[in-house]
Structure 1
Amino acid sequence: MSDKKLYVVAVELENRKEQAISVQEVLTKYGDCILTRQGVHDPGSDRGIITLNVNADNAYLEEFSEELSRIPGVKVRTIKF
C-alpha cells in the first residue's frame, strides 16, 4: 500500500514575470507527482497563483514545497486530503 496522499498546493508569485522561470524549473523537477496544474494572473498586478493537484507522500511534498518556498517572493500553501 502506498503512503501517497492527495494534496492541493497553492503557489503565489509576487512577480510572476521575474519568478516564472525558477518556479517552472521546480515544477518540472517534481512533475512526476503533479496531476493537474492551473495558473491564473491578477489582471491589475504582476501577481499570479498556480494551483496544483498533487499525489505524493508527505516527505516528497515537504521537499517540493520547501524548494518552491526558497524562491524569493513565492509563497506555498497546502491542503491534505
Structure 2
Amino acid sequence: MQKDIYVVGMMVDERGSKAPDVQQVITRYGDKILCRNGIPSPSRERGIITLTMEATPEDYQRMEQDLKGLKGVTVESIHFSQPESFQLCENR
C-alpha cells in the first residue's frame, strides 16, 4: 500500500492541561512519525507541534480526526503524494 508524506502542524491551546491528551494520540501513531518538533514555552498558553509522517491516507485521516476531536487543538497539514517507486531513504 502506498504511503505518502504529511507535514502536520498543531496549535494546542491550554498547553499545560492538553499536552497529555495530544501526546497520547501522537504515541498511538508513533511508528508513522519520521520527525517531531515542538515549541513548549512554559510562559505561553499555546504550544506548537509539527510532525512529518510517512503514512497511508487512511492512517493520516484517523490521526487527524483523533487530534481534531480534542478541544483546543487546531490541525493543519500539507500532503505530498509520492509515487510507489520513490524511496524516502535508501540504505546503500
> TM-score if structure 1 supplies the norm length?
0.91
Structure 1 gap ranges (5+): none
Structure 2 gap ranges (5+): 81-92
Structure of greater Rg: 2
Single out whichever of 20-29 and 44-53 deviates more from structure 2.
44-53
Greater helix percent: which structure? 1
Greater strand percent: which structure? 1
Q: Hey, what does 2:2 align to over in structure 1?
A: 3
> TM-score if structure 2 supplies the norm length?
0.81
- Percent of aligned positions that are identical: 39
Matching residue's letter, 1:66: Q
Tell me how far apart the structure 1 counterparts of residues 74 and 48 of structure 2 sit (CA, whole Å).
10
What is the aligned length?
Answer: 80
| Structure 1 ranges of 4+ moved more than 3 A | 41-44
Tell me how far apart the structure 1 counterparts of residues 42 and 33 of structure 2 sit (CA, whole Å).
26
Alpha-carbon displacement from aligned partner over 1:19-66 (angstroms, at most 9, x marks no partner): 100000001111010000000146763101100000001111000011
Matching residue's letter, 1:75: T
